[in-house]
Amino acid sequence: MRVDRVLTDRQQVGDLLVTLALGDQIDHLLKLRGIIGQALEKARQEKLIGNSLEARVTLKCDRRLIGAISKEELEEFFILSDLIIEDATESSATVEKTPFAKCARCWRHRESVGQSSAHPDLCDRCESVVVATQMEGQAPAST
């Protein structure tokens, strides 16, 4: 057997293992999204929130199954403004109304909204984008 064939086989096996692991993680995230969705719908029916961006969700789950995904990425995936993750053996979610103000640009309720004197209606993330865009518009023309 040629060495390059062995390396290719090992690479394919490695790629397959990564694909299977990612598939399992995606399945778990989709299950968690379903659990969160049920909790959000109950909160909507109880008039606690109007939409998911008004919610502070406490998600109890096995953190190992989430992997290295950041809190911010999970908030994007679950379409939430405020996510608290607690380690637990059984997955569940509870919802309360977030105490944070709504960003006028992204509509997410963030702790940083109202903290900037230049852009008090924006969160820190949106403010940095707006400032960068303004700076690009003020850049001197190249000759």
Mean pLDDT of 109-126: 93
Distance CA 14, CA 12 (A): 5
Distance CA 108, CA 88 (A): 27
Output the pLDDT for position 43. 97
Distance CA 136, CA 89 (A): 49
Domain 3-99: state its class. alpha beta
Inform me whether the pLDDT recorded for 2 exceeds 60.
no
Reported confidence tier of residue 143, pLDDT bands at 50, 70, 90: very low
All residues at 6 or more sequence positions from 36 whose CB lies less than 8 Å from its CB, including other chains: 57, 59, 78, 80, 93
Mean pLDDT of 49-76: 92
What is the three-class DSSP state of 38? helix
Report yes or no on whether pTM surpasses 0.95: no
Output the pLDDT for position 44. 96
Reported confidence tier of residue 65, pLDDT bands at 50, 70, 90: confident
Structural domain spans, the chain: 3-99, 100-143
Q: Which residue bears the tokens 């008090």?
A: 120
